[in-house]
A and B are shown apart, each in its own frame.
Chain A
């Protein structure tokens, strides 16, 4: 194997700048997508766990639809297909006047996709709260909404933090798929650096290290949160 090492390339202009922009973009679209995911995902998860009949079917369909189509294709659908299906004026606005349509699309697609995964975890978390808790809450006169707010959700939240941590990590990884609709996030920038300089080792190593650092930071943060919210006297369940 013959390969000319040049780690310096990572610190040269314009490559250092590309790397920085890529990191910033990955963080921005992941966090924005997560904000959508956690809001809509919690809502759908709660409605799914408490709902019957039509409500359960609608929320279940959302979950199944978004989980059973590849995220890459979902990005294409939001980017290429949805503007064609909307009324003409809206579609044109999306295509022509919306600033940075690829970034907005990536955030929406990431957010709605991850929401379906968050919803599954939230509804499983609620189901894991012992049935007696819901009955006890009702018996003491709390309304359904109150029972959820004061009794079920706080308990479900603690159960759900570990799987949500893993979803939060996944959204950073999934954000790389945005490169297929032209978002220059971290993976795209390093791929660009490798095709400009042929220093693939250095470029991909940089990306790998950044993703690992993100994973490390998120895991450390979440472990701290888990410790803070853990209830004294209840053993952590593995």
Chain B
């Protein structure tokens, strides 16, 4: 290969943008689903029902012990089998990401819930609130401020992790860049460009997390 030709990139922009859309969409769904699932798991893990807490701990430690690629393969194989009919890779991957992120978000949420002083739990309980009311009205709003920066940081990691859908040939940003790189035979240009885009977006996300962290310290 002689000389570099970055002019392939403008032509490829619509295709690459589509890929970026999938990456961002996947990130958004996995974040929202992961947080919702993570909240349920965190509450289960703090519950006074021992078996429920143990099941939640098993879930979290199980998912945290295995690589995301293996989880993607698992669900890519399992989901059609369980449903009894072929479904697109996208659905399998969405479920895999939500389940996987749920384990990680639950740890952030659990730490956040536990960071609220015991006196606050007691005060809510003393006023007659139920356990779930206490979490929803008193504990979670306070914990959210502490968790927000970590949630954004986890979101940045997640955004990078969406590149792994490459292994089931979903056209995310990474895979799209790779397709253009190989069909146009412009490997250096495309991969460098893709790196720059990821770097810019992740740096922005990191800056947001830092700002949330600063705001939190100013608020008190």
Interface residues of A (CB under 8 A from B): 1, 3, 64-65, 67-74, 76-77, 80-81, 84-85, 169, 172-177, 179-180, 187, 190-191, 194, 200-201, 204, 207-208, 211-212, 214-215
| Interface assignment of B131: CB less than 8 Å from any CB of chain A | no
Interchain nearest-CB distance for A203 vs B (Å):
9
Give the docked Cα–Cα distance between A42 and B156 (Å).
24
B62 and A212 contact, CB distance less than 8 A: yes
B70 and A72 contact, CB distance less than 8 A: no
Among B62, B66, B191, B199, the residue within 8 A (CB) of A81 is B191
With A81-B192, A194-B73, A211-B67 given, can you name 11 additional A-B contacts, CB distance below 8 Å? A1-B84, A68-B199, A70-B160, A72-B166, A80-B181, A84-B187, A204-B73, A204-B77, A208-B74, A211-B66, A214-B65
A176 and B188 contact, CB distance less than 8 A: no
Interchain nearest-CB distance for B75 vs A (Å):
10
A-B contact count (CB 8 A): 108
Given A68-B198, A72-B174, A73-B163, verify A80-B77 contact (CB < 8 Å).
Answer: no
0/1 interface trace, chain B 180-203, chain A, CB 8 Å (1 if under): 010000011001101100110011
The count of chain B contact residues (Cβ–Cβ below 8 Å) is 38
Give the docked Cα–Cα distance between A200 and B77 (Å).
7
Give the docked Cα–Cα distance between A68 and B156 (Å).
8
Closest to A72 in B: B163
B81 and A1 contact, CB distance less than 8 A: yes
User: What chain B residues lie within 8 Å of A180 (beta carbons)?
Assistant: 166-167
| Interface assignment of B178: CB less than 8 Å from any CB of chain A | yes
B69 and A187 contact, CB distance less than 8 A: yes
- Which of A84, A194, A204 has the most chain B CB atoms closer than 10 A to its own CB? A204
A187 and B67 contact, CB distance less than 8 A: yes
